[in-house]
Amino acid sequence: MIGITGSIAAYKIPFLIRLLKKEGAEVQVVMTPAARDFVTPLTLSVLSGNPVYTYPFDEDDGSWTSHVELGSRADVMLMAPVTAATLGKMANGIADNLLLTTYLSAKCPVFFAPAMDLDMYRHPATGENIKKLIGFGHTLIEPQVGELASGLTGAGRMEEPENIVKVLKDHFAKRRQFAGKKFLITAGPTYEAIDPVRFIGNHSSGKMGFALAEAAAEKGAEVTLIAGPVKLEITHPLVRRIDVASANEMYEMCKKYFPAADVTVMSAAVADFTPEEIAPQKIKKGDQPPEIKLKPTVDILRQLGREKDSGQVLVGFALETDNELENARLKLKNKNLDLIVLNSLKEQGAGFGVSTNKITIIDKNGKQTDYPLKSKKEVAEDILDRIAELI
Ligand code: CTP
């Protein structure tokens, strides 16, 4: 589906539709009222071979266009060109026309190709909106630097149709990469109960594991995501999410799903120790501070490493504060892993809570690859590229 908004770059969309049709795509256009001043619905309808929608309600025949149905039919939604105003509405959930209601109810991946004058593009509000949309998991098709309709030269020209088609083709090619493969991914912390109100936990946010689950699903994998207590949402239809709290619950679920998994990635920060006993009632303040006796949890990854057969790929994480490489190599060997992803708490922008990460991957043969600081989404792509080499 293509969503067109009121920018002069709309004149390029008929050409884009022709290119997409040549690639075998079915194209459905939804346009805002302002977009109709730049390109005619008739042209778009002839080229796409489908009716073009702008309004939810047709005054002539009284028919209603369901934005929910439009959104659910699409494999991808491409907003192009998207103006500063529509970017702002998308980022803030303002749905004041058919295109925006369709956008809000669409469950498919969204791509957006902004087009505007350079000062509008440079404005911090636009920057914030774009960041927010990327945060929603949408893909920015960056505008190019060039001559703009205002006569000024700078960033703001919508990407050329040929390149937009390339971005979409890459997306569909990637979507088939892990088709039919089963992934088991763990994420987040575990909570080890002390009494009904208290627990021992850690600072893991689960962002890395969720980014991995989302990225694997986008490449066609069927993902079972076992999540400790986190404040994250995931809606991809190929992700089955199972919430657990303790290390033991996580272990039980891993045992259940591991035998069928082609790839297992343990990115959860699993507690190494748990209270020997859980007090049945809230522990009261006494004269003496209470002593909490701990016992070790199962090392899930080590256990899976023992059970793994030759066709299965097993990936672990190592979070280290010192002797990083040495410790990571030891874990790789002791836990019988194919890859270990090392993140050091010493690196700025890596570790807990943040949206970025800086990793080193070591493989079974001892090959070490250092990656620069990237978003957790990009880091997930790097890890999956390495997994793809193994399956
Ligand atoms: N892990 C696990 N089960 C545990 C502890 C850790 O499956 N009970 C997994 C983690 O998910 C991670 C890897 O083991 O993929 C390494 O975790 P980390 O905490 O870095 O290392 P540990 O093996 O726990 O060793 P240490 O705490 O001594 O560094």
What rounded mean pLDDT belongs to the chain? 93
* Closest atom of ligand 1 to CA, residue 298: 8
Q: What is the pLDDT of residue 113?
A: 98
Out of 184, 248, 257, 331, mutate this one to test ligand 1's pocket (max ligand atoms within 8 Å of CB): namely 331
Contact between 123 and 87 under an 8 Å Cβ cutoff? The reply is: no
Name the band, by pLDDT with cuts 50, 70 and 90, for residue 152.
confident
Examine the pLDDT at 60 and tell me if it is beyond 80: no
CATH fourth-level superfamily of 182-276+285-390: CoaB-like (3.40.50.10300)
Examine the pLDDT at 19 and tell me if it is beyond 90: yes
What residue's CA is closest to ligand 1, atom 4?
299
Q: What is the pLDDT of residue 353?
A: 65
**Most confident option among 50-59, 74-83, 346-355:** 74-83
181 residue type, one letter: K
Q: Give this prediction's pTM.
A: 0.71
Residue ranges of the chain assigned to CATH 3.40.50.10300: 182-276+285-390
132 CA to centre of ligand 1 in angstroms:
33
136 vs 91, 107, 236, 362, CA distance in Å? 9, 12, 12, 31
**What is the third-level CATH fold of 2-175?**
Rossmann fold (3.40.50)
124: preceding bond cis by omega (within 30 degrees):
no
Q: What is the pLDDT of residue 136?
A: 87
316 CA to centre of ligand 1 in angstroms:
8
Q: What is the pLDDT of residue 351?
A: 65
Task: Give the integer Cα–Cα distance in Å for 274 and 326.
Answer: 27
- CB atoms inside a 10 Å sphere around CB 320: 16
Task: Give the integer Cα–Cα distance in Å for 340 and 366.
Answer: 10
Out of 200, 266, 306, 334, mutate this one to test ligand 1's pocket (max ligand atoms within 8 Å of CB): namely 266
Residue ranges of the chain assigned to CATH 3.40.50.1950: 2-175
User: Strands 368-370 and 374-375, how do they pair?
Assistant: unpaired
Lowest mean pLDDT among 46-50, 91-95, 112-116, 150-154: 150-154
70 vs 36, 184, 223, 311, CA distance in Å? 19, 33, 27, 41
Name the band, by pLDDT with cuts 50, 70 and 90, for residue 323.
confident
Examine the pLDDT at 158 and tell me if it is beyond 80: yes
Which 8-state DSSP code applies to residue 189?
B
For ligand 1, is residue 224 a contact (CB within 6 Å)?
Answer: no
